[in-house]
Amino acid sequence: MNSAISLENVRKTLGSREVLKGISFTVDQGDIFGYLGPNGAGKTTSIRVILGLLEASSGTASILGEDVSQDEARKKVGFVLEADGLYDNMTAEENLEYYFRIYGVPEPRGRIERVLDSVGLGDRAKDKAGTYSKGMRQRLALARAMAHSPEVLILDEPTAGVDPGGQIEIRQLLLNIAHEEGKTIFFSSHNLDEVERICNRIALIDRGEIKLYGELEKLQREMGKGEVIIDTSEAIAESLFAELKSMPHLGLREKKERTLVFIPQEGVEVSDIVSLLSGRGVKIEGAKRKEASLEEMYTAILKEVEPS
């Protein structure tokens, strides 16, 4: 299976500055991929390269296996850039009709109605885009991006400037599009909470370089240093503590009143520790592997460089 989006060592110089310094990452089909980074990091520039709107100085970018310079690649993508490009004095319906017409996208019967329904704007189809809130505009832009049923959606900061209620609606919509319609979604954001809630894979760009990339849960486990925390309903007996301490594969680090902290060796699961303790008659109230929050990872990585 081809990857949905693939960048290999993409460099881009704008003016006298190298804005992208050898970017590589892969977005798999079906991913909700969060592209994180502070202002000026190079997110929009990367997106413009992926969309074939800007030519890389070197390196390659492809969509579903086709180089982004190919029309075939572009047809499989829908996108929303920072400026939503909607016509304020046209209704939602007219905005979409116009789009179908100028881009020569075939317009199956009822498609506009369906696509507006799918973004929750069915009952506002005849209102002018100029009367819409920022969140509604983003949903209308999303409807337009999906008009030709693309495989891959690329969105530049889809919730920027949208109020919290509107952000929730957009997130739900993105989850639906990915999980029910099986599309791939790539979006840039500096909202860590949002990315943590809906993305399965992320990349973090800073000053034109990728600083972190991978499956979100895996990164969180790795950066959580693998701690396993067990809460018990009664204090642990000293004799049991000594026994646990003598088992190096458990990596017992700490005992508090009713909490044990382990950093177990690879291959030792939370459930292994739980069954061992249960077997010794310990009543367990909670057992979890500690994970780093995206915010912890983000600040840990970005604090290594002085602010620009």
Contact footprint for Mg ion (CB under 5 A): 43-44
Separation of alpha carbons 234 and 239, rounded Å: 14
> Which residue lies nearer to Mg ion by CB, 244 or 302?
302
* 2-14 core/surface letters (b: 16 or more CB in 10 A; e: else): ebbbbbeebbbee
* Phi and psi, residue 50, nearest 5°: -60, -35
User: In the complex, what is the shortest distance from the CB of residue 156 to ligand ADP, in angstroms, rounded to a whole number?
Assistant: 7
> Which residue lies nearer to ligand ADP by CB, 212 or 250?
212
Quote the distance between the C-alpha of residue 298 and its chain's center.
14
User: In the complex, what is the shortest distance from the CB of residue 225 to ligand ADP, in angstroms, rounded to a whole number?
Assistant: 29
Q: Residue 42 binds which one of Mg ion, ligand ADP, none, with CB within 5 to 8 A depending on kind?
A: ligand ADP
> Which residue lies nearer to ligand ADP by CB, 45 or 62?
45
Q: Residue 6 binds which one of Mg ion, ligand ADP, none, with CB within 5 to 8 A depending on kind?
A: none
Residue 7 and residue 50 in contact, taking contact as beta carbons nearer than 8 Å: yes
Stretch that binds ligand ADP, among 12-20, 23-31, 125-133, 274-282 (CB under 6 A): 12-20
Q: How many residues bind ligand ADP (CB under 6 A)?
A: 12
Show contacts with ligand ADP in window 266-305 (CB under 6 A). Answer: none
Number of residue whose CB is nearest Mg ion: 44
> Which residue lies nearer to ligand ADP by CB, 7 or 244?
7
> Which residue lies nearer to ligand ADP by CB, 55 or 181?
55
Asked if 17 touches ligand ADP (CB under 6 A), the answer is yes
> Which residue lies nearer to Mg ion by CB, 44 or 91?
44
User: In the complex, what is the shortest distance from the CB of residue 288 to Mg ion, in angstroms, rounded to a whole number?
Assistant: 36
* 63-75 core/surface letters (b: 16 or more CB in 10 A; e: else): bbeeebeeeebbe
User: In the complex, what is the shortest distance from the CB of residue 294 to ligand ADP, in angstroms, rounded to a whole number?
Assistant: 17
User: In the complex, what is the shortest distance from the CB of residue 59 to ligand ADP, in angstroms, rounded to a whole number?
Assistant: 16
| Contact string (CB under 6 A) for ligand ADP, positions 28-67, x = contact | ---------x-xxxxxxx----------------------
Asked if 19 touches ligand ADP (CB under 6 A), the answer is yes
**Residues forming the site for ligand ADP (CB under 6 A):** 14-15, 17, 19, 37, 39-45
